[in-house]
Structure 1
Amino acid sequence: MSAKIIKCTTTDGRAIEFVDEVIGSGAMKDVYFSPDKSYVVCFFSREKNKFYESKAALEQQKDRLKEIVGNKWNGIFNGAGGAYWKNIFCWPDGLVEYNNLLGITAPAYKQQFFFEYGSKNNDFLKIQGKEKEGKWFASANNQNRFLDEREKGTWLNYLKICIQISRAVRRMHAAGLAHSDLSYKNVLIDPVTGSACVIDVDGLVVPGKYPPDVVGTPDFIAPEVVMTSHLSKEDPSRSLPSIATDKHALAVLIYMYLLYRHPLRGGKIHDMDDPQKDENLSMGGQSLFVEHPADPSNRVRAEQLKASQLPWADPSQIPYSVSGPYLTELFNKSFIDGLHDPAKRPSANDWETALVKTVDLIQPCQNAACSHKWYVFDNTTKPRCPFCHTPFSGKLPVLNLYSARQGGSFRPDNHRLMVWPGQSLYAWHANNMIAPNERLAPEQTRRKGYFVLHDERWWLVNEGLPDLTDAAAKTAIPIGSKIELSDGAQILLSKEDGGRLAVVQMVQA
């Protein structure tokens, strides 16, 4: 007998329906599908939520949710890039009261966020058809032991996933909101398409107005929150989830998605006799980056690792520097300078910028069997893939980008574009005033040029750059024609404000 369909209305009068059958139960809510499965209705269960115990707490929870599904929803989805955010957030859009329970409505997750293939050995974990919770992808052990190869994606796609998560966090923080429980449990990812979706947004904290429901998920809780968790919530010395603690969680998440290990879980033991005290110290007041260049006391001990964790869990085999110069600098700021000084932590915008620049540094691995397919090209040493150790061979143009300044001079932008066959040139490469984010006009998202290797010669084909000029010869390169890339060539990409000059450097390996 099929479950009955229940009809009710949201507090703002929208008619909704749900099938009276729980499809999932979390730490706070029970979830029901709409009949067409296009949205879900989630009720806060009475047993799991203390706010039902007092009228004042219930009213405060109602107010907070009204703000999230009302003003905050409108600000984000009816503002700049609203359509873009619908793919990146699973944001609740209605408040429901039914059967003396408080609930919310939210869009259902997109199909790519469910496992198409089960785990290894006849899906012994029974994950086929389940949500792609980030934890399955954030550890070497899970990657190596459990995941079907067809679910793993490429390293380039993990960079794209991290860009989307950084953007989502940047947008929440710009709206004055903290996620408060940013972790691999509350982000769905799909490495096959390079997509991410931030979920469980109903716990958002409005600092100073609505306090957090939770302190976070172990592994992602900032040290100052762990250190003061024994104090009461009213104690002014207690650190609660905030934008500053989100920044720590975001850094941990990016480190784990790119390197499949935790930045603070090393070999150091703080208390031999009390495992809980040891955990509190290693994640709290005495936490220490496992790859700290000056203090090796928390190094990962290779002899304690399982074969299924290698090589990723051993930083001596795959150091964090494989992420390239921009991300290495931010990992240092997060896990050395800002670990115990929240004011020094990089913002979500810093991460987004560094990740975008890192994508411009990557190169396809020349080994077709490489598990990761892409790597950051390191021109300071003999370039090779750090994942399968295949050396790069051939001739490679690197475009060093310079921006126009007042007086007609050009200054370096600390931004380079690695070239590979089929690599694209976009509006944001041609002009440093254009940022590749949700605000781009459709015209700005189109490719403006691409690179080809023909008979051992590299060319840039102009598809949409009206100002493209060979700066040394002072000759225009009209749309539809091409310019050869040779060592020292200077190519003006745009004459507009913020227009860039690309200086070509040829790497021979």
Structure 2
Amino acid sequence: MNDIIELKTWQGDTVAFEDAVIGSGAMKDVCFSPDRSYVIGFFRDPQGAAARERLRVICEDYREGIFGQVGGDYWRELFCWPTGVVEHEGRVGVVAPAYAPQFFFEYGSANNDMLGIKGREKEGKWFASANNQARFLDPRERGDWLNYLRICMRIARAVRRMHAAGLAHSDLSYKNVLVDPRSGSACIIDLDGLVVPGKYPPEVVGTPDFIAPEVVMTAHLPHDSPARKLPCIATDRHALAVLIYMYLLYRHPLRGGKVHDPDPSQDETLSMGERALFVEHAHDFSNRIRVADARPSELPWCDTQRMPYTLTGPYLAPLFARAFTDGLRDPRARPSAEDWEFALVRTADLILPCANRGCVQGWFVFDNRRAPSCPFCGTPYPGALPVLNFYSSRHGDSFRPDDQRLMVYTNQSLFEWHVNRHLAPNERLTEAQKVRVGYFVFHQGTWWLVNERLPHCRDLSAGRDIAVGERVALRDGLQLLLSRESGGRLALVQMAGGG
């Protein structure tokens, strides 16, 4: 049995830990609490006055600002936020919740768990490349494309909340985000080094693959040089774009075939810094990934002709283009976390299940420009599918397009945020607003919307109300008024596919 040591946090709470190190990172040694509900990470190096004050405000002021507000409980699943600070035998320690069970590998890696990952944390690096997934992961751990979309949505939402509080992570990467593709869950970790611009500077420059080009370009300058660029909200935005690209396309957006210098170290600095170039740049093809040199485990994802970033749909593709063209040189041009969240939510409404039950990805985005066909396995979707194009009125005026659509498939749900443009599926929703208001079903050759909770649903084409409990057949050109409230929407049905 390990000794149990009790301590008082700076915040006045009693905590305890087992006197045995269960893991070590770059800066801390970690011990479990007796009931395994939380951990304490002890810094190996002494923490100065500024570092101590940073830890205090993260555990008190900023924690209260995020978790102490209405809807604060929502963030407990998305952040592993420190709850207190302790000192023991001259070392400062940070108390934080233990990771949720879904963030540990249930199954070992390939070849009888040759990597010994069973029971270990699900660092995002295992899932962010086609090579790692194909060579090392049990297929039961990989998840499907819809869940990667959900993972990206949750990461973007969490980063948006951090940035709204004036905080930057400074080391946003697949090492500091735990993911579970089986459930679509994500959790940002290592939050004890958060950056407050102008007050608490960054302690690290970041993780290779995710460091913004301006940081790489100026890393050789003295730390206090005014010309040196340090991690901040703008560099988080670069890292977030890289994360989303890698989780949806399983390759890095800047690591192509172009060689800038025969010295590997100098080539790395140039390709990630001064000469960074998007592997799918619209006009400069010099950094395309060389498919002929790829490992079999990297295919087909490294083939940007077969798997272009545009397969992510009409909302995400323009953000990738912004982030990795203008945004590489001009941090102000980078999409914000809110931009990504907005695009991911709308992309989720365009998702379709692949008709091929053997498709590894299982889902794909319908982009409204072609007949539905899975880009991952090439299977076309049989038959016609309804698309609801949403319109809403402004100040009593005529209905205007909202640039939002909902792809219909069997058992697809209709929610309040589809019915009213003032709502979004985020932490602000009440429990009542999370309940679906209708669903879609294909029955005897006809697509139907079943009204479950829409008191004012009306078929404008036929001039009749659709009462709660009734259904309405979906046909091309059908106009459905979903709500008469402020922000209420009109849905215009368009039939896609079917030959």
TM-score calculated relative to the size of structure 1: 0.97
For residue 65 of structure 2, what is the aligned residue in structure 1? Answer: 75
State the Cα deviation string for residues 407-439 of structure 1 (Å, max 9, x = none): 430111111100000000000000110011001
After TM superposition, the structure 1 = structure 2 runs for residues 462-481 of structure 1, keeping only pairs within 5 Å, are 462-481=451-470
For residue 13 of structure 2, what is the aligned residue in structure 1? Answer: 14
Larger mean CA deviation between 121-130 and 468-477 belongs to 468-477
- 1:369 Cα shift? 0.5
For residue 30 of structure 1, what is the aligned residue in structure 2? Answer: 29
- SS of residue matched to 1:406: coil
For residue 277 of structure 2, what is the aligned residue in structure 1? Answer: 288
Question: What is the rounded CA distance, in whole Å, between the counterparts of 1:320 and 1:492 in structure 2?
Answer: 35
For residue 231 of structure 2, what is the aligned residue in structure 1? Answer: 241
- 1:275 Cα shift? 1.0
Question: What is the rounded CA distance, in whole Å, between the counterparts of 2:393 and 2:414 in structure 1?
Answer: 18
User: What is the Cα-based RMSD across aligned positions, in Å?
Assistant: 0.9
For residue 102 of structure 2, what is the aligned residue in structure 1? Answer: 112
Extract unaligned runs of 5+ from structure 1.
47-51
- 1:315 Cα shift? 1.1
For residue 420 of structure 1, what is the aligned residue in structure 2? Answer: 409
2:77 to 71, 83, 87: 87
Question: What is the rounded CA distance, in whole Å, between the counterparts of 2:415 and 2:159 in structure 1?
Answer: 25
**Residues 462 and 480 in structure 1, CA contact (< 8 A), matched pair in contact too:** yes
- 1:80 Cα shift? 2.9
- 1:165 Cα shift? 0.1
State the Cα deviation string for residues 54-77 of structure 1 (Å, max 9, x = none): xxx611100000010000000111
**Residues 365 and 390 in structure 1, CA contact (< 8 A), matched pair in contact too:** yes
- 1:352 Cα shift? 0.3
- 1:451 Cα shift? 0.1
Q: Which amino acid aligns with 1:5?
A: I
Q: Which amino acid aligns with 1:164?
A: R
Question: What is the rounded CA distance, in whole Å, between the counterparts of 1:268 and 1:204 in structure 2?
Answer: 34
Q: Structure 1 residue 358 and structure 2 residue 357: aligned?
A: no
For residue 49 of structure 1, what is the aligned residue in structure 2? Answer: none
State the Cα deviation string for residues 351-387 of structure 1 (Å, max 9, x = none): 0000000000010000011001100013323431111
Q: Give every structure 1 segment of 4 or more consecutive aligned residues whose post-TM-superposition deviation is greater than 3 Å.
A: none
Question: What is the rounded CA distance, in whole Å, between the counterparts of 1:353 and 1:282 in structure 2?
Answer: 30
Question: What is the rounded CA distance, in whole Å, between the counterparts of 2:157 and 2:386 in structure 1?
Answer: 30
Q: Structure 1 residue 490 and structure 2 residue 489: aligned?
A: no
Question: What is the rounded CA distance, in whole Å, between the counterparts of 1:337 and 1:81 in structure 2?
Answer: 36
State the Cα deviation string for residues 310-341 of structure 1 (Å, max 9, x = none): 11122122111110010001001100121110
Extract unaligned runs of 5+ from structure 2.
none
**Residues 90 and 199 in structure 1, CA contact (< 8 A), matched pair in contact too:** yes
- 1:392 Cα shift? 1.5
- 1:256 Cα shift? 0.2
After TM superposition, the structure 1 = structure 2 runs for residues 129-168 of structure 1, keeping only pairs within 5 Å, are 129-168=119-158
1:334 to 323, 326, 348: 323
- 1:93 Cα shift? 0.5
State the Cα deviation string for residues 459-483 of structure 1 (Å, max 9, x = none): 1001111111112223211111111
- SS of residue matched to 2:472: strand
**Residues 454 and 468 in structure 2, CA contact (< 8 A), matched pair in contact too:** yes
For residue 450 of structure 2, what is the aligned residue in structure 1? Answer: 461
Q: Structure 1 residue 384 and structure 2 residue 373: aligned?
A: yes
Q: Which amino acid aligns with 1:419?
A: V
- 1:245 Cα shift? 0.2
Q: Structure 1 residue 308 and structure 2 residue 297: aligned?
A: yes
**Residues 385 and 391 in structure 1, CA contact (< 8 A), matched pair in contact too:** yes
- 1:16 Cα shift? 0.7
For residue 397 of structure 1, what is the aligned residue in structure 2? Answer: 386
Question: What is the rounded CA distance, in whole Å, between the counterparts of 1:335 and 1:342 in structure 2?
Answer: 10
For residue 398 of structure 2, what is the aligned residue in structure 1? Answer: 409
Q: Structure 1 residue 504 and structure 2 residue 493: aligned?
A: yes
State the Cα deviation string for residues 48-100 of structure 1 (Å, max 9, x = none): xxxx3xxxx61110000001000000011111321110011000010111110
Give the number of aligned pairs.
498
**Residues 314 and 367 in structure 2, CA contact (< 8 A), matched pair in contact too:** no
Q: Which amino acid aligns with 1:6?
A: I
After TM superposition, the structure 1 = structure 2 runs for residues 430-441 of structure 1, keeping only pairs within 5 Å, are 430-441=419-430
Question: What is the rounded CA distance, in whole Å, between the counterparts of 1:437 and 1:317 in structure 2?
Answer: 34
Larger mean CA deviation between 140-149 and 402-411 belongs to 402-411
TM-score calculated relative to the size of structure 2: 0.99
Question: What is the rounded CA distance, in whole Å, between the counterparts of 2:290 and 2:301 in structure 1?
Answer: 13
Question: What is the rounded CA distance, in whole Å, between the counterparts of 2:462 and 2:395 in structure 1?
Answer: 23
**Residues 80 and 438 in structure 1, CA contact (< 8 A), matched pair in contact too:** no
Question: What is the rounded CA distance, in whole Å, between the counterparts of 2:125 and 2:172 in structure 1?
Answer: 12
- 1:158 Cα shift? 0.4
**Residues 123 and 174 in structure 2, CA contact (< 8 A), matched pair in contact too:** yes
For residue 207 of structure 2, what is the aligned residue in structure 1? Answer: 217
- 1:233 Cα shift? 1.4
Q: Which amino acid aligns with 1:131?
A: E
For residue 324 of structure 1, what is the aligned residue in structure 2? Answer: 313
**Residues 462 and 481 in structure 1, CA contact (< 8 A), matched pair in contact too:** yes
Q: Which amino acid aligns with 1:28?
A: M
State the Cα deviation string for residues 7-66 of structure 1 (Å, max 9, x = none): 1110122111000000010011100000000000110012xxxxx3xxxx6111000000
State the Cα deviation string for residues 160-185 of structure 1 (Å, max 9, x = none): 00000000000000000000000000
- 1:257 Cα shift? 0.3
- SS of residue matched to 1:203: coil
